[in-house]
Structure 1
């Protein structure tokens, strides 16, 4: 085991292209140290490690490499109470790239790191992140994080940017709890998150921007007890865009998409015990079914002051029960499409509320 304690490792350059500051084939422990202004043109501007690495109470800044600007590892990595800033990777992992068993990162700040391709701050297969603060990181894909699986708890992801997709996170399977995602952006998909599967609980996503899915873009999305507000999409899904979308006990307000789905756009949408208010779009101010076969199921939902040219609240094939529609505005101020309505209140309009080829009104029993 190599142990580095209370040390400064600075302004070194690797002769062999790996490990600008440290190269080790042993387990590594780095505590209370500063690793800065080191350079390697291949892997690990600050550290290259082939075995398990433990980093505590340390600072990594202004390191540069091709992969893993500050750290590149092949096996397991654990980081606690540390800071990574202004590190650069020409390709992947602006601060950290770990290709082994994954990384555990706790009580750590990662800011202003940059990657040319994937993972502005972190590139890793399996990530556990708790009490992290990731801000102002950038990459083409995954402004802060590029990952296969990530469990993110009690963390803040703010002002991260992706040129293409996943302003904060780009991945395959993302679990997010008790976290905040503010002011992240991407040009194409997922201002905050672009992932095949996303499960989010007890979190706030605000002021994120993208082309599709202002906050989230995913095939399979589950949102529970969350707030999505003031997110924007240039095309569709101001808050969320996906295929299968389940929303429970959540508030989606003040989101906007220029073309469709002010708050939500998808193919198989279920919303229960939620509030969808003050969202805007050209079609489906609150919710838009993205295909002719799309299914929208609404239960115990308040839809208030959503607006669109077509379908102020909802555009698509709907089943609605025990819900309240108030002051939604557009052609078909409340609903535009086919539907089955049970025990609902639709009120406060001066024009017909429903424009449809086939709307069935089913009285409550």
Structure 2
């Protein structure tokens, strides 16, 4: 990292034969990406209102970067208007330098008369500043290659000081490919199928070192469609039969009325094959729109059965498939599905898909099942996917039995029994559930272990648990306008709830939360405007409540926050209306929590809220709060959980 050559320069201003001095200094001698830059202007004896501009240029590319000081009144870009009093120091903090390329910079500052272009004075200060951060490669993976097709992929660091050196320190590139030590470009024309495990080391000009590890697969190609080698549904089955390890079967754009296709038994591939859609007539250009390549089962049977091997399916649509297990795809082996669409498929279990390892970036709509999983039955991982208007007679309107569900959306799914959207999952993360319904219990979810960073709105159950029926842990999640005819407008369970918010939920008992046992906890959560027709406007049951806020909840026509059923311990909590005997600690408070704008849905703490800095900070060590990348516990907004003397009450920390 290079040093600042000079951190101080003097500007002599001349106005009406009077000389004035302004000095410009930097807050530190060297900078890297993410560091804040602070320029200090100091003048000796001149005062008055002035427009100040600050800029820097990289002579190598002759680009002028205007820097925006914070905390000043904007006059007109790139100028900032500020009062300069004689003898004062005007400190101008400037945001991170991360967007700037590394190199030698010249700083400029100017002072002009307000509302004119008359220059009182200006300054140029030569400085050397390097703004590149520590070498980081980021999340890089090698795209696959195809035999006989030109391959080109450049390894590009996220940050670091160029120039870079690239070297292959383990593994062997596929035949026909080379790695440039100067540009990081892997290129050539692969001539053989293969799977190469590689480690590429990158060194920057400072000597920082990072590595990328990954697998580069080279596929052979079989083509199917009007212009392909294989034609017709029988031809596609022949392609499946003939496929070898690391083959890609490319499907030409079009609609194919096929059913009963199968990857047969005995395909003991080490790496597997890929079936991909969206290809043009020359099979060298692929669209990422799955609607262009459609398999239509016409309701005459299941479309594809995978009986052995490892199969990746991408860029295809499956519709009108019908089978006992998996109307579109039935997997008895390893199947990975990405960027696919499934609609109007039916089955007993898994209306669209039965058994899969991973489902990514896919869409499921209007699929149905009579037993479990209106769209999917039994998937290890589901991510970045959407499920809408799927239905099941028994359990799991969209999904039954999945290990992990991440970054996915569920809307308007239904189950006659339990789990309007999902039945039986281990982890649900960063997902949203809206307008799902169960005619039994669990309008959105039934029987899940952990729910994190997820939102639930307008879900309903004719039984209990308008959004969630039975789970173990709910963290940093929001519940609004969910309802149950029975108990638990949002949640009926025995679980721990941390950093979550419940608003405008309703039920017979426990408008927001109904706890079955007294061994459960509500920590740093906000429950407001919930209602119960019978008891427990916000909460009914037993357990421990700490650092939480209860406000404007009702049972019947009466204000009611908590109705105990079993032993309830409440401390460090803002609560006004309790009906029944609870164990009250000595740190509870009453009154208006003074939210920012509760009427319009903003339940963050206002500047004068009595809930600020009055919580028990020891909960940070006792309970599992989410943390940011720096290891700090965070609130529902992702901000630091403790700001000030003590933790705040409720789901949000006043910043």
- 1:270-349 matches, within 5 Å, as 270-281=521-532, 282-289=534-541, 295-309=542-556, 312-316=560-564, 317-326=567-576, 333-347=577-591
Tell whether 2:296 aligns with 1:36.
yes
Tell whether 2:357 aligns with 1:103.
yes
Q: Give the paired residue count.
A: 317
Question: Following TM superposition, by how much is the alpha carbon of 1:75 offset from its aligned partner in structure 2, in angstroms?
Answer: 1.1
- Are the counterparts in 2 of residues 81 and 108 from structure 1 also a CA contact under 8 Å? yes
Q: Measure, in 1, the Cα distance between the counterparts of 2:253 and 2:305.
A: 17
Question: Following TM superposition, by how much is the alpha carbon of 1:11 offset from its aligned partner in structure 2, in angstroms?
Answer: 3.1
Q: Measure, in 2, the Cα distance between the counterparts of 1:163 and 1:23.
A: 32
Question: Following TM superposition, by how much is the alpha carbon of 1:347 offset from its aligned partner in structure 2, in angstroms?
Answer: 4.1
Q: Measure, in 2, the Cα distance between the counterparts of 1:337 and 1:105.
A: 49
User: In the alignment, which residue of structure 2 is the partner of 1:202?
Assistant: 453
Residues 269-311 of structure 1 show CA distances to partners (whole Å, capped at 9, x for unaligned) of 311111001111111111111xxxxx32111101001111488
Q: Measure, in 2, the Cα distance between the counterparts of 1:225 and 1:24.
A: 43
Residues 238-275 of structure 1 show CA distances to partners (whole Å, capped at 9, x for unaligned) of 00001x211111101111002x1111111133111110
User: In the alignment, which residue of structure 2 is the partner of 1:213?
Assistant: 465
Q: Measure, in 2, the Cα distance between the counterparts of 1:347 and 1:229.
A: 23
User: In the alignment, which residue of structure 1 is the partner of 2:375?
Assistant: 121
From 263, 271, 275, the equivalent of 2:512 is 263
Higher strand fraction: Structure 1 or Structure 2? 1
- Are the counterparts in 1 of residues 399 and 423 from structure 2 also a CA contact under 8 Å? yes
> Secondary structure of the residue that 1:190 maps to in structure 2?
coil
Q: Measure, in 1, the Cα distance between the counterparts of 2:549 and 2:386.
A: 34
Question: Following TM superposition, by how much is the alpha carbon of 1:39 offset from its aligned partner in structure 2, in angstroms?
Answer: 4.4
Residues 46-67 of structure 1 show CA distances to partners (whole Å, capped at 9, x for unaligned) of 1011023211111111222222
Residues 62-98 of structure 1 show CA distances to partners (whole Å, capped at 9, x for unaligned) of 2222221111110111011111111111x11110112
Question: Following TM superposition, by how much is the alpha carbon of 1:345 offset from its aligned partner in structure 2, in angstroms?
Answer: 1.3
Residues 95-134 of structure 1 show CA distances to partners (whole Å, capped at 9, x for unaligned) of 0112xxx42011111111111111100011x421111011
Q: Measure, in 1, the Cα distance between the counterparts of 2:450 and 2:537.
A: 24
Tell whether 2:479 aligns with 1:228.
yes
User: In the alignment, which residue of structure 1 is the partner of 2:311?
Assistant: 53
Q: Measure, in 1, the Cα distance between the counterparts of 2:513 and 2:559.
A: 13
User: In the alignment, which residue of structure 1 is the partner of 2:178?
Assistant: none
Residues 318-343 of structure 1 show CA distances to partners (whole Å, capped at 9, x for unaligned) of 211111124xxxxxx33423323321
Question: Following TM superposition, by how much is the alpha carbon of 1:22 offset from its aligned partner in structure 2, in angstroms?
Answer: 1.0
Q: Measure, in 1, the Cα distance between the counterparts of 2:326 and 2:433.
A: 24
Report the aligned-residue RMSD: 2.0
- 1:125-204 matches, within 5 Å, as 126-140=379-393, 141-147=395-401, 149-171=402-424, 173-195=425-447, 197-204=448-455
Q: How has the CA–CA distance of structure 1 residues 38 and 8 changed in structure 2, closer, same or farther, with 3 Å as cutoff?
A: farther
> Secondary structure of the residue that 2:535 maps to in structure 1?
coil
Q: Measure, in 2, the Cα distance between the counterparts of 1:339 and 1:145.
A: 41
- Are the counterparts in 1 of residues 570 and 582 from structure 2 also a CA contact under 8 Å? no
- Are the counterparts in 2 of residues 334 and 346 from structure 1 also a CA contact under 8 Å? no
Q: Measure, in 2, the Cα distance between the counterparts of 1:222 and 1:153.
A: 16
> Secondary structure of the residue that 2:403 maps to in structure 1?
strand
- Are the counterparts in 2 of residues 320 and 342 from structure 1 also a CA contact under 8 Å? no
- Are the counterparts in 1 of residues 478 and 501 from structure 2 also a CA contact under 8 Å? yes
> Secondary structure of the residue that 1:127 maps to in structure 2?
strand
User: In the alignment, which residue of structure 2 is the partner of 1:10?
Assistant: 256
- Are the counterparts in 2 of residues 205 and 227 from structure 1 also a CA contact under 8 Å? yes
User: In the alignment, which residue of structure 2 is the partner of 1:359?
Assistant: none
> Secondary structure of the residue that 1:336 maps to in structure 2?
coil
User: In the alignment, which residue of structure 1 is the partner of 2:157?
Assistant: none
Q: Measure, in 1, the Cα distance between the counterparts of 2:256 and 2:297.
A: 5
Q: How has the CA–CA distance of structure 1 residues 79 and 104 changed in structure 2, closer, same or farther, with 3 Å as cutoff?
A: same
Q: Measure, in 2, the Cα distance between the counterparts of 1:76 and 1:190.
A: 31
Question: Following TM superposition, by how much is the alpha carbon of 1:21 offset from its aligned partner in structure 2, in angstroms?
Answer: 4.1
* Higher relative contact order (CA closer than 8 Å, sequence separation 6+): 1
User: In the alignment, which residue of structure 1 is the partner of 2:642?
Assistant: none
Q: Measure, in 2, the Cα distance between the counterparts of 1:49 and 1:338.
A: 58
Q: Measure, in 2, the Cα distance between the counterparts of 1:336 and 1:278.
A: 20
Superposition TM-score, scaled by structure 2 size: 0.47
In structure 2, the gaps of 5 or more residues are: 1-239, 244-248, 278-292, 593-615, 617-655
Superposition TM-score, scaled by structure 1 size: 0.82
- 1:54-93 matches, within 5 Å, as 54-89=312-347, 91-93=348-350
Q: Measure, in 1, the Cα distance between the counterparts of 2:590 and 2:578.
A: 7
Question: Following TM superposition, by how much is the alpha carbon of 1:221 offset from its aligned partner in structure 2, in angstroms?
Answer: 2.4
Q: Measure, in 2, the Cα distance between the counterparts of 1:117 and 1:217.
A: 19
